[in-house]
Amino acid sequence: MKIKPIFIVGAVAVVGIYLLSRAAGKAVGEGLNAITPTNPDNIFARGVNAVGDILTDGSDDDNFELGSWIYDITHPAKPTTYPAPPASSVNSK
């Protein structure tokens, strides 16, 4: 049995395994990035924003973000005129 074909097949197998592992690693990295919670463009955020966009104004114009919506409902607009302070807190001289 000749040894040269065995080395050639072994080298091709090593290169093939290396290339497949690189491609699989890249695909896994992209897949993990798509579901990472800190990624503002992950698939869950895109889905929620798409549904919220349609529900808020009925058109698909990409003007909805869940984080902004939560901020808006938890931080109402400040009044333009402020009420007078209670009489007990006013220092009289």
Kindly state whether residues 30 and 55 are assigned to the same domain.
no
In angstroms, the Cα distances linking 48 to 8, 36, 54, 81 are 52, 15, 10, 36
pLDDT more than 90, % of the chain: 0
Kindly state whether residues 29 and 47 are assigned to the same domain.
no
Kindly state whether residues 2 and 26 are assigned to the same domain.
yes
- Name the residue with higher pLDDT: 93 or 32: 32
Q: Average pLDDT for residues 69-73, to the nearest whole number?
A: 87
Domain hosting 6: range is: 1-35
Q: Above 70 in pLDDT, residue 91?
A: no
d(CA 78, CA 55): 26
Instruction: State the total domains in the chain.
Output: 2
